Amino acid sequence: MTIRHHATDETLLRYAAGQLPAAPARVVAVHLAGCPVCRARVAAFEAVGGALLEESVPVPMSPDAFAAALRALDSEPQTTNRTSRVPLARARKSAKLPEGIPMPDALRDCDVGPWRWVGIGVRVSTIKLPEDPNASMMLLRVSPGRQLPEHGHFGTEFTQVLFGSFSDAYGRYMPGDLSEMGHEVEHQPIVDPDGECVCLAALDGGMRLTGFIGRLIQPFIRM
């Protein structure tokens, strides 16, 4: 698999620093699992961050810092490991990917909803993240040759192709490719005619949807 579309350096730097919002970070994690180029970039950014940490001047801790940390931990509500197991069971019973395409490991602890019809040839599965239930993230499954709604963005849209392919004015995106579209971009992806396309999509900000299909999909997107 040849990956032609990658995350930007800015996005990879934010990912390495833990500064990407939850949903985009999950999409980038799926991309990294199959992209050695971007994994190497993240490793380089992490190495630079580690070197800067080593060169920083240590600051003395207060005498009661350790005791304060223990008190803070004791005051946090206790959780069990059930939260990490239940979403996985739900994921297996809900949205199924095409035969031979496993659910990405980065989504294994998420609550993946069932496929819902939102228009001719378009289905959506909403995804809830345990770390941010209000994050805007979904799977899209679109029939061959179908157009997705023409739209723009208030933030950045991250779309990872899991199966099939689509094209827009900026190129053709195949399995493993990551489309990263900023607020200045308006586009209308079209699925290639040789088969359906399944993508994982997340928003760092809102989406401006137009047209009939756009109005149908809008309720599935948490702004």
Give residue-wise pLDDT tens across range 172-213: 999 999 999 876 666 678 999 999 999 999 977 555 555 444
Query: Domain locations in the chain?
Result: 1-55+94-223
The answer as to CATH 2.40.30.60 being correct for domain 1-55+94-223 is: no
Question: What pLDDT score does 53 carry?
Answer: 47
Using a cut of 0.95, tell me whether the model's pTM lies above it.
no
**Token couple for 146:** 């179908």
Question: What pLDDT score does 109 carry?
Answer: 94
Quick one: average pLDDT of 112-141?
91
Residue 169 has pLDDT above 50, yes or no: yes
Contacts made by residues 127-133, CB under 8 angstroms, sequence distance 24+: 128/87, 129/22, 129/23, 129/26, 130/83, 130/84, 130/87, 131/22, 132/21, 132/22, 132/23
Asked if residues 223 and 173 have their Cβ atoms less than 8 Å apart, the reply is no
Rounded distance between C-alpha atoms, residue 41 and residue 167, angstroms? 26
Residue 153 C-beta-side C-alpha neighbours within 13 Å:
20
**Token couple for 114:** 């069932």
